[in-house]
Amino acid sequence: MITFEGIDGCGKSTIVAQIARQIELGEGPPFRGREFIFTAEPTDGEEGRLLRERLKGPRTAEGGGSGSVDAGGLEGLEELFLFLADHARHLRETVVPALARGAVVISDRYSDSRAAYQAAALGGVVPHPLEWVRQIHRPWSVPPDKTILFSIDPALAFERCRSRIEEGRSSPQPTGHDKFEEETFLREVAANFETMAKGEPERFVVIDAGRRRDEVLVDAMRALEAALSEKAYAPDR
């Protein structure tokens, strides 16, 4: 189970698509003879489609203060539980069956994105939101074996998001961009990713995503090859 993570605008999804094309060529011992399943969260299931629509709109309010949960805080909780339902579907329909037959699952976003993003959304709503969201997953989710984290200056990521909208590669929203692409919010999310990476250095591989796309692709392929070459990646589930 290998996941790719990072804030919006880091270029992660583009690189994952390029990796998928390269793996189709079957070059190199780490890739030859393996089944690869490329997937993503939110999924294309019912919950995932609902989430994609919700994430396009503006927030109704900020998170609640100490000891209170206002409309904004309740909205954040509602989104979290939709994400959890989508994650459960993803595990049941895709991840668990693929791992059981020995496939390599590569997911563009997974549980770490939920922790990073929803913890930022739930600040002031629940105590220690990052750990709280992660703890919800621990009893039942499938943890990644390796996570490749794309690290980028949130200001640069935000500019990429704006350019993407202006060039027509994503639909303009009432706020001018997706609510999860607000620069201030991205900074909080990036800090959450950094906290998780520092806490689990054996799982996270951090890549500088602020460089040219070809340079990022080379590092991502090297990280993936190294992960697949480790003994821990022999199918044992």
Distance CA 52, CA 75 (A): 15
Looking at residue 230, its pLDDT comes to 77
Q: Which of 93-97, 150-154, 170-174, 193-197 has the lowest mean pLDDT?
A: 170-174
Distance CA 154, CA 145 (A): 26
* Confidence grade of residue 233 (pLDDT, cut at 50, 70, 90): very low
* Confidence grade of residue 173 (pLDDT, cut at 50, 70, 90): very low
* Confidence grade of residue 234 (pLDDT, cut at 50, 70, 90): very low
pLDDT of 190-210, one tens digit each?
Answer: 999 999 999 999 999 999 999
Query: What are the sequence ranges of the domains in the chain?
Result: 2-60+68-228
DSSP letter string, 87-113: HHHHIIIIIHHHHHTTPEEEEES-HHH
Residues linked to residue 205 through DSSP beta bridges, in sequence order: 148
Q: What is the pTM of this model?
A: 0.85
Higher pLDDT, 174 or 167: 167
2-60+68-228, what's its fold?
Answer: Rossmann fold (3.40.50)
